[in-house]
Amino acid sequence: MVLGGERLDPAALRPWLERYGDDRPQVVNMYGITEATVHASYRPIRRADLDGTGPSPVGVPLPGLVFHLRDATGRPVPDGTPGELHIEGPALARGYLARPELTAERFAAGPPRTYRTGDRLVRLPDGGYGYLGRVDDQLKVRGYRVEPGEIEALLVRHPEVDAAAVRPHDYGEGGDDVRLVAYVTGAARHRDDPAPLSAELTALAAAELPPHMRPSAHVVLDALPLTANGKTDRTALPAPGPATAREPEPEGPDASSGARIAAIWRAVLDVGEVPPDADFFDLGGTSLTLLRMFERVNAAFGTDLDVTVLIDGATVASLTSHIDAARTTEGDA
């Protein structure tokens, strides 16, 4: 059974492999493009792949084809470093009919003659290749280059998630607070209350991904929007709404400092719950979000604390102790 056309997340095959095994019938993931007429690599899928992490495995080139991974300047990248795939071999098309400019852009005369695919792959330790996504899908978030395919491959490992898509969303003004938002399908029972699922996906990401690759919010959809070609249409993904209906911010002399600070955090982070000992960054915050939060807290309490008071831990409990101490000092003065 040959699979192709869209990036494969091996975990999605768990029900099939548990029922039929991985030998007969054999399941083969194939990667390829029309310009290479039409498959270019193959990878038998095994039970061991179900619990794997990382990019979608597409295997090794078919006989007669050679894969070259290159950076934006056309130079080869070392093994283990993502790069754009250039394919060499006799299966390449001659070019695009009546489109000489596009032919010259995508087909390099060589030697060797190659086709620039626009796909990002990486050479894996087993000698095969992993598919990461399109070059133009790569994101840049707070100075980091992010491959959404790596995050999506991790999210679908959750037993209730069938498919996932990741895109950036600006929570600030003018791009000053861009965070990643994950959209997932299959978790129908979490549609009305995504908080439990979001907590589980947050924990999964925290265990496997660096902070800049962890989604700040999770949106449950019935289905991912598709283009006319059946690919995920990231531009049609909805903006994330409020995490949950929030109570008004506590006010008045009876409101504790901790409750007021937690309310500010919920509003700035767009989350439904803020435990007193939860780290600001584990809740989806960024350095820019932290500054915005701190300005609001100082304004709310009439204090002039510096953000460095949180150097040992950015939690509501820690900030509350500093705010209460500052207010006591100012009151004595």
CATH classification of the domain holding 186: 3.30.300.30
Cβ proximity of 41 and 55 under 8 Å: no
Amino acid at 48: A
Structural domain includes residue 15:
yes
Structural domain includes residue 123:
yes
Residue after which a domain boundary falls, among 88, 109, 137: 137
Structural domain includes residue 250:
no
Q: Which two tokens stand for residue 309?
A: 């008071």
pLDDT, mean of residues 68-73: 93
For β-strands 114-123 and 107-108, DSSP reports them as: antiparallel
Per-residue pLDDT, 245: 43
Q: What is the dihedral of CA 137, 140, 146, 149, to 10 degrees?
A: -20
* Confidence class for position 80, pLDDT limits 50, 70, 90: very high
Both 226 and 272 in one domain: the answer is no
Helix (H) or strand (E) run with residue 184 in it = strand 178-185
Both 106 and 232 in one domain: the answer is no
Per-residue pLDDT, 165: 92
Per-residue pLDDT, 330: 63
Can you give the residue range of the structural domain that contains 158?
Answer: 141-236
Residue after which a domain boundary falls, among 84, 117, 137: 137
Cβ proximity of 45 and 22 under 8 Å: yes
Structural domain includes residue 245:
no
Amino acid at 109: A
Per-residue pLDDT, 246: 45
Per-residue pLDDT, 114: 96
Q: 159-194 burial, b if ≥16 CB within 10 A, otherwise e?
A: eebbbbbbbbbebeeeeebbbbbbbbbbbeebeeeb
Domains identified in the chain, total number: 3
Phi and psi at residue 228, to the nearest 5°: -60, -25
Residue after which a domain boundary falls, among 89, 115, 137: 137
Q: What is the CA radius of gyration of the chain?
A: 24
* pLDDT at position 9 over 60: yes
Q: Looking at per-residue confidence, does 289 or 3 come out higher?
A: 3
Structural domain includes residue 248:
no
Cα Dmax for the chain:
84
Among candidates 24, 226, 41, 221, which has minimal Cα distance to 119? 41
Rounded (10°) angle between helices 316-332 and 257-269 = 130
Condensed to tens digits (0 to 9), the pLDDT of residues 275-322 reads 888 888 877 777 778 888 888 898 888 888 888 888 878 899 989 988
Per-residue pLDDT, 289: 80
Condensed to tens digits (0 to 9), the pLDDT of residues 116-154 reads 999 999 999 999 999 988 887 777 776 677 878 889 988
Tokens 């509003």 belong to: 267
* Confidence class for position 332, pLDDT limits 50, 70, 90: low
Amino acid at 195: A
d(CA 294, CA 281): 14
* Confidence class for position 234, pLDDT limits 50, 70, 90: confident
Both 94 and 147 in one domain: the answer is no
Kindly report the CATH number assigned to the domain that includes residue 129.
2.30.38.10
Structural domain includes residue 286:
yes
Both 61 and 31 in one domain: the answer is yes
Structural domain includes residue 252:
no
Both 103 and 163 in one domain: the answer is no
Phi and psi at residue 85, to the nearest 5°: -80, 125
What rounded mean pLDDT belongs to the chain?
A: 85
Q: Which two tokens stand for residue 290?
A: 């932290």
Structural domain includes residue 246:
no
